Every structure is written in C-alpha cells, then in structure tokens.
Structure 1
Amino acid sequence: MRLLSAFLVWLTLAASAFAAPSSPSALDDALRAGAASPSAGPQRTERIEAELVPMSAWAAPGSTAIVAVRQKIQPGWHTYWRNPGDSGGPTTLDWTLPAGVKAGAVVWPLPERQRLQSLMNYGYSDLVFLPVPIDIPADARLGQILRLEVVAHVFVCSDQMCVPEDLDLTLDLKVQDGAAPLDPRYGAAIQSVVQSAPRPAGIEARAQFADGQLTLTATGGPLAKIGTGAAPKWAYFFPFEGGVIDHAAVQTGQHGPEGLTLSVAAARGLIAEGLKGPVAGVLATDLGAWEISATPGPALAGASGNGALASGEETAKPAVNLSAFAQAALFALLGGLILNLMPCVFPILAMKAAALSRSAHEPAEARRDGLAFLLGVLTTFLILAGALLALRAGGQALGWGFQLQSPAVIAGLALLMLAVALNLSGVFHIGAGLQGAGSGPMSRLPGALGAFFTGVLAVVVAAPCTAPFMAFALGAALLMPWPMALAVFLMLGLGLALPYVLISLSPGLLARLPRPGPWMEMLRNLLAFPMYGAALWLVWVFARQTGGDALALLFAAGLMLALGLWLAGRHQAAQAFAQRGLLSGLAALVVLILALGLAIGAGRAPLSGPASAEASDLLASQPWSPEAVQAALAEGRPVLVNFTADWCVTCKINERTALTSRRTAEALQAHNAVYLVGDWTRRDDAITAELERHGRSGVPLYLLYTPGQPEPRILPQLLTEGLIIDALGAK
C-alpha cells in the first residue's frame, strides 16, 4: 500500500512538471512542499496552543508581510515579554525560511504585570499575538507558496512551576500581486496589535541614579499635550533589560505641564555598576504607551509639579479561606509553644525563671507579672508583624527575622545582652537595689513594666529560631489579608508566652517553688552566663555580616559599656551608703555616651563582601542559585539545598550535628549529590522569593531535588544524619 501511494505521488508530481515546461523549478517547489516538515495549523500541549498565522490573505513580491505567533494560554498559566521580569524567559523564534525571505524582530505588545508574592513578572495570559515582519523578495514568483517554518521556544509558567515548550509551527503563504485584504480569521486582531504596540514617538528622556533610586523624566512628543489636555492618571516603566530596576518595587511619579517623572528602586546590577548608559524601555500610561531611551543627565524641565501619578497596578485581594486561616493559627500556636524549647530563647528562659522565683509566693504579683509578660510578647509580635507586612506591601522582599539582617540591630542586641549579663552579675542594679535578687534589668523595672519589657526582649531574641509548625504558619500568613496575618502572628506570640502565663496563674504550681533566700543571689549570678553567651554569639554574627573595622568599633563599644555600667554601679553603691558619688555618676554618663557613639559607628560601618556559610572539610558546598540546581539536575544528580543564616541558631545546630557529619558527606558522595547553600545572613531577594515559593517566610529550609521529579522534597526543620541519609536513598 505504501509503494502504491508513493507511486501515485510521483506520478502526480511528474505530470505537474510536464504540464509546466516554462517553470523548471516547479518540481523543486513541490518536492520541498512535500518534504517532511511540521504540519500547518495549531500545535497543542497541556498548557498552551500555538499557531503561525498571517495578517493578510497573501503577500506581494517585494513587500513586507506580517505573520504572528498566536498563543492561546490555558487558565492559570502565562508566557513572557521580551524582559520577563523576576523569573521566566521570553518567547524566542528560530526560523527556517525559503531563499531570499527574511524575518524581522518580534513586535512586542504591551505586557501585563504579573505579581507573584515578592516577584514581578511581565508577560501575557489567555490570548496573545506576537507579530513578526517578513520581507518577501522582489523576485518571488506569482502563485508561489512560501513555506515559513519556525520553532517557538516558549516558557509557560504558573504560580507553582515553569515548563519550557518547543513548538514547531508552519505557515504556507501564497505570493500574489496587488494589495491583500486582511486574513478573515485573525487579520484584524493582528493589525490591532501592530497598531497599538509601543513604538518611539519623539519623547525626550533623561535618567538619574542616586541613593539606590532610578529617576526618569520624559517630555515632548505625545507628552507635550499634558499641559493642554487630559493629564495621565498613572504611569509605569517597563525596562527592556533586566538588572536595571527592582521590578517588584512600587513606582512613584508625578506629572508636569510638559511631561512626567517616575522614580523606582534600582536593581542590584545597577547599584553595583552604576548608570553607564541609556536606559531603554516602554513608558506606559493610561493615555498610551511608547518606547523611550533615557540618557544619563539632569532632570528635564516641566516634568513634575502638577500632581502625583499612580502605578496603575491592580492588586488582586487574596481570597479569604477560613479553613486555611484556622490551620495557620493552630500551627502558629503550636510553633510558639515549641519555640520555648529552641536554643535562642534559652537566655530569656533564665530571666523568666528568676522572675518566677522572686514572685512565687506572692500570687497577686505573679498574676500581674504573667499578664504583663503576655502583653509585652503580643505587643512586640504585633509591631514586628505590622512592620514586616508594611514593608512587603511596599515591594520589599523580607521574611521572618528580617530585623536580624541589619548589622546595626545585631550590634544593639549584643550590647543589650551584655548589659543584661552585667546586671545579673551584680555590676549595677535597676530599680530594686541590692536586695531584689532574681530578675534581669527589664524585669527589675517598677511593677508590671519590668515583666512587659521581658516579654519584648523574649520576642526580639526569639527571631533567629524557626520552630516546627512555624514555617507553614508564617508562610501562609504572609499570603493572607492583613487582619488574618496579624492574628496568626498573635497566636504565635500566645504560644511563646503561654507556659509562663499558665504557671503564673496557677497558685498550686507557684507554691512548689522554694521561698526566696540567699540561693536566689547565686542563681541570678549563674543565669548571667547564658546572657554572656548570647552576647558573644551576636558579636560573631556581627563579624560575619561586616568586617574587621566594624568589629573593632563594636568591641570598643562593649568595653565602654561595661566600664560605664561598672561606674554606674559604683555610683549606686555610694548612694546606698549615703554618699553623693558625683564623680562616678558623671564619669558613668560620659563613658556611656561614648559607648553609644561607638555603637552607632559600628552599625554604620561599611559591609564586607557577601557572607557565606562555613564550608566543612568533609562536605564541600556551592552557592545556591536556580541555575545551579537546574545544571545539577540536567546531569542526573540529586541536589540538597540548605537555606541558612548565621543568626539562625536552629540552622547552625543542624549544620553541626547533621549536615557536616562524616556519614552525611559519605551518603552525598555515594549518591553523587550536589550540596548547595543559600546564605540569608544578609538580605537576599532571590532567596526570599525561593523561600516564599515553598510557603516559608524564614530559615531554615532544606530541599532535596531528585532528577525526574518536578518539585523538591521539603525536609524537616530539625535534621538528623539518618533523616538525610534515608531521604537520599528514597526513590
């Protein structure tokens, strides 16, 4: 049967050749048309349908025809503009064309802004046409069929994953003389895209870069009509290249009589290299969109002063899911309870234990202190959560523990811990004098105020730890409406304070504690050492974040703080014996002011190079990046990713006990696995985005990628050697 079909095809082609002796290449054209090639018509996958379609019914010799790649995208998926934004990749086209036929660049329609948590992408959803001009040679024969073939490389992505699609598309374009009408199927739609696509319009633009902000001013062309006509309500700049602006940051602007001004946070690439050339892109407004190229230079006159501009972004409100909210709130409560057992809270447990001992046989005082401690915890969680949500709403990529990414905060906490330790050691006293044993400086303040500030300090130092259940709860909270998100954070605070509050409200439990006595002074002095340890640990974190000069300033600040507090203690002792102690008091004040100045200098010192996680001699690591993960998977190798931070105590314990052990290293080597470390010690927007992609708001996070599996396995936050080895061996 196949031989018969082949004979009939040959017979038909031969007859055509004899019927047209004046056209010796007709047989060649027919053979090329019948050769194996992609079939015309739409090509489909589970995520997208694509087709190469013409704008006009035919093409004339010597003309420029317009064809377009039509993309019909499934709901929940999207493709990308020429600059995809923070993830994905643009559609690229590889053409195979007849001799003399040339394809131009894609005429990109104005993209949509696709915000995903802390990321901003530029692309298309539902239906889009990507027009491409095709130059037809002047010697093209009338009646000839030009077969246009293209491989469209398309990134099709959802909120969860990206799939690269390679689609082979074909169009047979007829050559005919005269002006061609629009193609009846998609001609009008393609023509509309071509006419509305952004293009240069005689707009003059300037760019300025200062203090991390890129400011663009644009005047002239269609913007010159602003002073005499309708003013724009919103404006937005789409850069052609990545690494210029922080795509997710809010763009602010204002309009003037002759143009407009936009300001946006610069990307890390621009911050690192500076503004070295023109900034090109699309300036979109509600009045139209145009291509501009802003050359470095001073701001143009007439581009501001007449009113503010909105960004034009429509932010979808997240759906209210009461079941998810209840689950997140429960997990937050459980995570807060477990947080009491995490190492970073041990120093505060010391203060809480001492305070309980002091008020154990005064039930009314114990109840008051317990409720004040709860209020301090909840208030601090509310402030931290509000700040986190507000900064994220402003486009900042932040997560739980964000305050500890600031060396200034770390320096302040280290000095505070030192002051607490010195107080517990008896160097100086606050409030109750020498007889008030069993409490730290915050809880030694009058009445419930001391217990309140103990709760404040408990939350501040708890930030380096992420207990089980916390990761899911906080990751989910950051995607909820703000009232629900705040409620989840408050449940976390309730869990942290609950054990102390229950004991303080239980007279039976309080009665079991020994009565106050000389032993409390010894206990108080002993409990100073966890605070000294916390101060030393924070100094180590500070050293990892900064450099030698900043560390020297912090050491000097600590020395002056210790001296100043010792002088303050001498002043208190002199007053206790009815002496004035004026000299020691003034000296203490001067030295403490000097300590404050040194601390400010340490916090403002220049940062060192990027912090990096410690590498074990047994377990070699590489810096994490999405490209490194994909490269290893392409080689068929498993990938273990450790998202960590130097200020994360849980992370460091896991690294010492499980990740850097000999058995773990041998297991990784046996499975030819790659170990990648994502260091979040200082702010890193890429790591923040990856944490959020897996429903987390902080570290630690451990991912195990397996070749052939679309998503990684998320390992528990408390690791053991056996757990890692079993995970590597699981199929």
Structure 2
Amino acid sequence: NLAFAQELQDGWHVYWKNQGDSGLPLEFVWSLPVGAVSGGIDYPTPERIAIGPLVNFGHAGAPVFLTSIAAPKDAAVGSTLDIGLKATWLICADICVPETGAFSLKVPVVAAPEANAAEAALFERARAALPTPLPGEAYYSVNGSMLSLDAAAPGAAAAGYFFPATEGITEPAADQKFRKRAGRLHLSIRGGPALASLSGALDGVLVLETGGVEKGYAVAATRKDEPAGSAPGGSLGGLLLAAFFGGALLNLMPCVFPILFIKAAAMANVAAGDKSAMRRHGLLYALGVISTFAALGGLLLALRAGGAELGWGFHLQSPAVVALSAYVLFAVGLNLAGAFSIGSSVQNLGSDYLKGKSGDPAAFLTGVLAVVVAAPCVGPFLTAPIGAAALLPPALGLSIFIAMAAGLAAPYAALSFFPGARRLLPKPGAWMERFRQALSFPVFAAAAFFLWVLSEQTGGRGLALGLGGLLLVGLAARLWAWGGSRRWGAIAAVLALAAALVPVALVRPAAAEADAAGVIGFDPADIARRRAAGEAVFIDFTAAWCVTCQVNKLTVLAAPKVKAAFAKAGVARVVADWTNRDPVIEQALSEFGANGVPLYVYYPPGGEAVILPQPLTEKSVLTLFAEDSKGTAP
C-alpha cells in the first residue's frame, strides 16, 4: 500500500477524479518490474470549490491519495522491487500551475507484510478521509435533462450533494434539490452533456451533512427509470384521481359549510331564472376556486424549489394572513346579516348574490373565499397527493393542486349544468331573506375560529389587536350604511378599513409556552435521548389552524382510554406545534415524507418510527400499546 501525500498552502487546491467545471485530475505513470500490477487511485471525499460562476471538485489542505502495487508472483523473499512513479497534477488558486514529480522507492519483498510504524498515522488519516460504502441500495433515474438519485438515508442528514465519478453527468454549479421521505433521501440534479449517454451503474460520492458535519459515502446506483406518467407514491393518474375526490370531500368539511350555504341559497334563486346565468355562475365559481388553488399551490412549489421547507397551509402560519381571513369573514357575516349593503355597482358576496341579482364577480369571489376557508380543513385524504406534488416536477405538481380545486368546485359546477339536479334545490321565496340572515352565524363562527388561531399564534396581545381590527371593520360597515351612496360615507368607510390594517401589521408570533398538562415540546435531541434510554415516544405534529388536528385532539387523543394507555405505558407525549413557522418541525415533517399536518409518529421502546394511519382513531392508537405488551414492534 502506498500513499501520495500533498501539503497545500492556504487558498490552493488540487482536483478530484472528476474535476467539475475545470481543472485536471491527478495522474500516475508507473515504472514497475515485470509482473507487478498497479491499482487505481483512492481519492479522499471531494469538496466543492467555487471560482466565479464555475464550481470545481477537488481537495485543499493536506490531501492523501492511496494506491497499491501487487508484487510479481515470482518475486523472491529477500529481493527488492524498484518502483518508479511520474505524477502530474494541476494546482490552482487565482492562477493554475501544472506540476510534475518523479519518485522512486526500493521495497523489500518479505514473507509477511509489516506495517511501517513511522507512516501508520498518515495511512490512518488517509483511510478516514475516504468515503465509506453507503448502507442500503441506491437508484437513479433520468427524466429529460434531470437526474434523480434515490438512496437510503443514513442518520439524520439535513443536506446532501452528489459528486458523480464521471465528468459531464451533472452541472457542477447547479443547485441540487435535497429531500428526505420515509427513511430515504432524494436528490434532483440538473444533468450535464454526458447525462444522455449514461447507462449502467452511476458511481460517485454522496456527501451528507448531519449536525454541521459532512461525511462522504461511496455510491454505486443502479438505473431504475420510472415509466411515463409515474410519480412518487403511485401513478400520476391515481394521484390526480385521489386529489380530485379529496377536493370534493372538502365540501363536507366544517370550514366550507358557510360557503356551501351561500352557494345553495344563490343557486336556488338563479335556478328559477336565467339558465345561462346559472351556468355562467358555475363556471365563474369554478374559475375562482381553481385560480386560487393554483396560485397557492404554485407559490408553495416555488418556495420549496427555492429551498424553503414548507407544507400546505403555510400561509396560515402568518398571523397577518389569519387576521385578514377573520376580517373578510366578519365583513361577509355583517353583509349577510343586513348590517350594510355594498350595492350592485361593486357586486357583493351577500344579499345581491343570494337574491340572484348580480352574480358574476360575486360567483368568482365566492370561489376564492371557498379556498381560503378550506385550507385549514385539508385532511388525511389529501396527504398523499400533496406530498407527491412536492416531489414531482413543477408542472406535474401543479396539476395535482388543480385536480384538488376541480374536485372542490365540481358539485356546484355540476348543478349549474344539469337541469335535472336543480330540482333538488328549494324554491325561492320570502324565506330566503331569513335564511340569508341565518347564514351570517356560521360565517361569524368561522371568523371566531380564525381569531382563536390568532390567539394561539400571538397570545393575548395579538388577540386584542385582532379584536380591535374587527371593531374597525364593523365601524367601516356602519359608516358605509349611514353614508349610503354619498361620498363622505365611502371615504369614512375606506379610512376605517385602512385603520383596521394597522393591527394586522402589528401582530407578531408569540414565544411557545410550556404545556401545563406535562406534554413535551418538540426537540429532536431530547427525543433521541429518550429513545436511547429505551423510552417510548409519541409525536403529535399539529397546528391551531388545522381543523382535523383539533378534531383528533378532542375526540381521540383526549379520550380517557387513550390517556390511560399513554400513562400506563409511560409514553413521552411530544407536541410539535406548527401553528407558527418552525424550520426544525418543517425538516422533521419532510424526513417523515409529510408536507402538512396532522402527522402522528410513535417510537416503541427500542424500535423504529411507526406512522399512524389517517384518519386517526382510538383503536389505531390503542393497538400500538397492545402490540408493545406482546413484545413486538408494531
């Protein structure tokens, strides 16, 4: 075994076997006795070296390159092997200097190998710098100009970069999109000119960062191209279908009930009149739903592509957005209750729409409002489609959000186009005015829910600011009603609304408070310590704005049998509260393959993570402890 050691001055570097955008790798030319065979060069784990717009792969400091020489089979013990080496390399800083060195060794042939004690530390350091074999299997696929790498995820890696052994497979200067999902990591890499001709195994080094420390793993990935139309978590067609039906089910969720009432009342009036207007309203409502869903989904995908670890409902992590949602719903409720009427010139979401008088802008805006209030109610039936959308190419990911929107809009749009279905609607009459006023109460309830979310995010000060903003919204409505069509009324109302935006600008997330019931806050290091000590851990990923989370908390996790089972088994209950944005929780969700909440994870004593199925039930939780008592991991 031979070591070729270099000591480089600060700012200088040499190159890996794939030099990246520019440079030349180390080259050995041997002069050996007849029958002797030289091995290849074992390089240390490479690093990225940025020089202007270029990124090179190389080594700085004191790299050591290992190789080996096999003696001739007929070499006699006691003889000497004369080994000659001509090495060439390129060393660069602001300038590049090609260098050459000639070296010779006389190596005695012995019966048993003997370690060179004087150089043992050098060889030990060199071997420690080599990439270690990656545990588990690795696969790659090629989709146009993109290379995807899928590999086992050793440890809790937070970032990764793949160095291909062959030049031109990737674009060295391009960012590599790193994701973790269900114990495996995924890298999406922009391909280079040699990607199109890639076949067989893909060799290289995968460098993973864990806790600020980088470690290299040798990778030999096998090709596993997915068929056209396939996607993470299932076929693209299956995911689109799941997204559509999941969106349709959102119509039955409590968040959307007030909007359903508004649509039903409006439809009953329009159905008795112009059928073409009915169809137009259906299309405009669908357009409002789809455009808003696409805008939110597109923004989510764009932010994730930029490196942000975000999930569905990310906009509700902003107290300002939550406060504005409460304002809008409160204003809609006041309009339905008859506190004010915007009039046909502006087209409102309330009385004119419900009376079937004006509806085009109102139908579109009702679709927008439906998406706003539906966001907290995205339940477990949409977990897989949203998770897949985050891993697919942007165009395919956006198609999943559009399918969800189509599902949400489908029932109302279908009633608009099929006359037979309209017979199921009640006939319009005097009851519509009373019904319109009654609709204000579920809308006020929705506004109250958003105020509660605001209090969870910002504490008492934020709630006080939010209530102050609602008072100003109410004042604006009253001023509008008093002023009627006169200019002073409109100006006063606008000024009051502008003042209502001041509290929105002042609300700030509050610091997390300790839970009085003994529930533990989310801390990955603390969870690791508890698991190492043999303690069972249950993690509840939740958020105040997530309606499904709150329902599960009240009906399942707070159930007496479940609480007793937790206490009897000595389970550490951890709450990962994602009400406000938290990069640590976002990273943990990503590692479990989730892009939103709720998510429930159980670590049995000495066992691996078990992700509980959705929807959550008492039985699914109690089964965990029943299986633990049998001594088997779930």
Per the normalisation by structure 1, the TM-score is: 0.56
Residue in structure 1 matched with residue 257 of structure 2 by the alignment: 346
Residue in structure 2 matched with residue 609 of structure 1 by the alignment: 511
| Aligned-pair CA distance for 1:320 | 5.6
User: Which one of 496, 520, 532 corresponds to residue 634 of structure 1?
Assistant: 532
Question: Cα 1:144–1:728, aligned 2, differ >3 Å: closer, same or farther?
Answer: closer
Residues 354 and 439 in structure 1, CA contact (< 8 A), matched pair in contact too: no
Question: Cα 1:369–1:130, aligned 2, differ >3 Å: closer, same or farther?
Answer: farther
Residue in structure 1 matched with residue 421 of structure 2 by the alignment: 509
Question: Cα 1:514–1:441, aligned 2, differ >3 Å: closer, same or farther?
Answer: closer
| Aligned-pair CA distance for 1:607 | 3.2
| Aligned-pair CA distance for 1:662 | 2.0
Q: Which amino acid in the other structure matches residue 532 of structure 1?
A: F
User: Which one of 364, 367, 380 corresponds to residue 468 of structure 1?
Assistant: 380
Residue in structure 2 matched with residue 458 of structure 1 by the alignment: 370
| Aligned-pair CA distance for 1:427 | 0.6
Q: Which amino acid in the other structure matches residue 601 of structure 1?
A: A
Residue in structure 2 matched with residue 624 of structure 1 by the alignment: 522
| Aligned-pair CA distance for 1:508 | 2.0
1:86-485 correspondence to structure 2 within 5 Å: 109-111=45-47, 146=117, 159-162=151-154, 321-322=229-230, 324-362=235-273, 363-432=275-344, 446-485=358-397
Structure-1 separation of matches of 2:349 and 2:451: 28
Q: Which amino acid in the other structure matches residue 347 of structure 1?
A: P
Residue in structure 2 matched with residue 518 of structure 1 by the alignment: 430
User: Which one of 610, 615, 629 corresponds to residue 712 of structure 1?
Assistant: 610
| SS of residue in 2 equivalent to 1:476 | helix
Dislocated runs of 4+, deviation >6 Å: 128-131, 147-155, 435-438, 440-445
Structure-1 separation of matches of 2:528 and 2:229: 34
| SS of residue in 2 equivalent to 1:327 | helix
Any idea what the Cα deviations from partners look like across 1:517-546, whole Å, max 9, x if unmatched? 111111111111111111111112112222
**Structure 1 residues not aligned, in runs of 5+:** 1-52, 58-106, 114-121, 132-142, 165-232, 237-247, 249-268, 270-279, 283-316, 576-580
Residue in structure 2 matched with residue 490 of structure 1 by the alignment: 402
| Aligned-pair CA distance for 1:129 | 7.5
Structure-1 separation of matches of 2:64 and 2:253: 55
| Aligned-pair CA distance for 1:330 | 1.4
Residues 248 and 411 in structure 2, CA contact (< 8 A), matched pair in contact too: yes
Structure-1 separation of matches of 2:325 and 2:363: 18
Q: Does 1:595 align with 2:500?
A: yes
Q: Which amino acid in the other structure matches residue 3 of structure 2?
A: M
| Aligned-pair CA distance for 1:665 | 1.2
Per the normalisation by structure 2, the TM-score is: 0.64
Residues 390 and 397 in structure 2, CA contact (< 8 A), matched pair in contact too: yes
Could you tell me the percent identity over the aligned residues? 37
Structure-1 separation of matches of 2:537 and 2:362: 49
Q: Which amino acid in the other structure matches residue 593 of structure 1?
A: A
Q: Which amino acid in the other structure matches residue 536 of structure 2?
A: P
Question: Cα 1:553–1:713, aligned 2, differ >3 Å: closer, same or farther?
Answer: closer
Residues 336 and 467 in structure 1, CA contact (< 8 A), matched pair in contact too: no
| SS of residue in 1 equivalent to 2:309 | coil
Residue in structure 2 matched with residue 723 of structure 1 by the alignment: 620
| SS of residue in 2 equivalent to 1:640 | strand
Residues 644 and 701 in structure 1, CA contact (< 8 A), matched pair in contact too: yes
Residue in structure 1 matched with residue 148 of structure 2 by the alignment: none
Question: Cα 1:353–1:364, aligned 2, differ >3 Å: closer, same or farther?
Answer: same
Residues 358 and 437 in structure 1, CA contact (< 8 A), matched pair in contact too: no
Residue in structure 1 matched with residue 595 of structure 2 by the alignment: 697
| Aligned-pair CA distance for 1:547 | 4.1
Structure-2 separation of matches of 1:708 and 1:320: 41
Question: Cα 1:155–1:629, aligned 2, differ >3 Å: closer, same or farther?
Answer: farther
Structure-1 separation of matches of 2:444 and 2:322: 15
| Aligned-pair CA distance for 1:503 | 2.0
| Aligned-pair CA distance for 1:359 | 1.7
Structure-2 separation of matches of 1:711 and 1:692: 14
Q: Which amino acid in the other structure matches residue 676 of structure 1?
A: V
| SS of residue in 1 equivalent to 2:252 | coil
1:46-57 correspondence to structure 2 within 5 Å: 55=3
Structure-2 separation of matches of 1:676 and 1:711: 14
More deviation, 499-508/472-481:
499-508
| Aligned-pair CA distance for 1:553 | 2.7
Q: Which amino acid in the other structure matches residue 560 of structure 2?
A: R
Residue in structure 2 matched with residue 561 of structure 1 by the alignment: 473
Residues 157 and 163 in structure 1, CA contact (< 8 A), matched pair in contact too: no
Residues 554 and 599 in structure 1, CA contact (< 8 A), matched pair in contact too: yes
Q: Which amino acid in the other structure matches residue 494 of structure 2?
A: L
Residues 541 and 599 in structure 2, CA contact (< 8 A), matched pair in contact too: yes
Aligned length: 461
| Aligned-pair CA distance for 1:710 | 3.5
| SS of residue in 1 equivalent to 2:612 | strand
Structure-2 separation of matches of 1:426 and 1:403: 31
Residue in structure 2 matched with residue 134 of structure 1 by the alignment: none
Question: Cα 1:479–1:318, aligned 2, differ >3 Å: closer, same or farther?
Answer: farther
Q: Does 1:646 align with 2:582?
A: no
Residues 319 and 457 in structure 2, CA contact (< 8 A), matched pair in contact too: yes
Question: Cα 1:637–1:378, aligned 2, differ >3 Å: closer, same or farther?
Answer: same
| Aligned-pair CA distance for 1:498 | 1.3
Residues 4 and 65 in structure 2, CA contact (< 8 A), matched pair in contact too: no
Residue in structure 1 matched with residue 445 of structure 2 by the alignment: 533
Structure-2 separation of matches of 1:676 and 1:440: 49
Q: Which amino acid in the other structure matches residue 584 of structure 2?
A: A
Q: Which amino acid in the other structure matches residue 111 of structure 1?
A: E
| Aligned-pair CA distance for 1:403 | 0.7
Residues 357 and 438 in structure 1, CA contact (< 8 A), matched pair in contact too: no
Decide which structure has the larger Cα Rg and report it.
1
Q: Which amino acid in the other structure matches residue 416 of structure 1?
A: V
| SS of residue in 2 equivalent to 1:464 | helix
Q: Does 1:677 align with 2:625?
A: no
